Structure 1
Amino acid sequence: MAFVVGYGIAIFGALVAYILSENKSKKRKYIVWGITLMVAISPFLSFAIGLTFAFVSENGWVIPGTIIILFPIGFIIGLTMLLVGIFKKKRTDEPI
């Protein structure tokens, strides 16, 4: 049942990020999605996937391995998106 909480928080974080980035510039969207991916989606989704995989394989030792592999990948992708959003130059012809 704990994996449902992990999936729920990840989905809720994605919905909040979608609402916050709706009708915003690309720069703002990169920043919002980068922060959301690092804080809400990546840790909880890696935890939930680890628990699901452990339940299916009936081996509790796959949880740390799955989290150790998935969390840094998601965090680095989120950090990259955040940095792209911070350092992206705003075009003059781009709508606000």
Structure 2
Amino acid sequence: MNKTKETTNPMPATSAETNQAGGEVLIELDSRRRASLGKIGHHDRYLASEQPDGTVILTPAIVISQLEARFMQNPALINRIEKNRATPSRLRKLDR
């Protein structure tokens, strides 16, 4: 009969603990299902997606306004802005 000894960590992970061998991090959720990324989260915002097997993927995200998104979809406008920035004589000061 093969007996396995179950070990418990006297100090369970409360946020993020690094596994030095593989560079992986154990993240435990609190009672409200929140997680702290601790030292591994280098960005301010992430898009989260969950795979069918339960894997959670966090992708760094930048939030922009609808207006800025529309401008970025207009190549002629982007080209015009880049040309204006490259030519200081075309810059104008905005009086307020």
User: Which fold has the larger relative contact order, with Cα–Cα distance below 8 Å and residues 6 or more apart in sequence?
Assistant: 1
Q: Which has the larger radius of gyration?
A: 2
Give the strand-richer structure, 1 or 2.
Answer: 2
- Would you say same fold, with TM above 0.5? no
TM-score, L = length of structure 2? 0.23
- Provide the TM-score with structure 1 as the length reference: 0.23
Q: If each structure's helix is expressed as a fraction of its own residues, which one has the higher value?
A: 1
